[in-house]
Amino acid sequence: MTSVVRTVTFDARDPYELAGFWLQVLRADRPADDAPGDPYAAVTTAEVKLLFEQNDDVKAGKNRLHLDLVPDGPRDAEVEWLLTLGASIYADHREVDGTGWVVMHDPEGNEFCVLRSAAERAATS
């Protein structure tokens, strides 16, 4: 028997707002049945489904799980765009030769990384 991951679920103080951030990041459309104040909000793409679930607990530490994003364009441009959406840089691991990654926080403090695009990786391999 084999299992597959159906959904990655996040606790969120405001599921609708946090899903809104991730909808922009993943360039997805909001499901018609999501509404402000609902206890759940979803982000679904062909590659992944994220579910944000109402939880008022305060985030207590580093995530034990995080998402790695691979942009379709330059990593640095993606980082700058994510900052305009409300993300923040937590740790910058970019190297002068163009390698590396950036650890960011979403608006509720969940960590995620922005890696180099496929073209950037191919150019330095």
Tell me the pLDDT tens digit for each residue of 60-119. 778 788 999 999 999 999 999 999 999 999 999 999 999 999 999 999 999 999 999 999
- The CA-atom distances, in angstroms, between 106 and each of 1, 13, 45 are 35, 13, 18
How do residues 10-63 score in pLDDT, each as one tens digit?
999 999 999 999 999 999 999 999 999 999 999 999 999 999 999 988 877 787
Spell out the domains of the chain, with CATH numbers in brackets: 1-56 (3.30.720.120), 66-125 (3.10.180.10)
- DSSP lists the bridge partners of residue 67 as 112
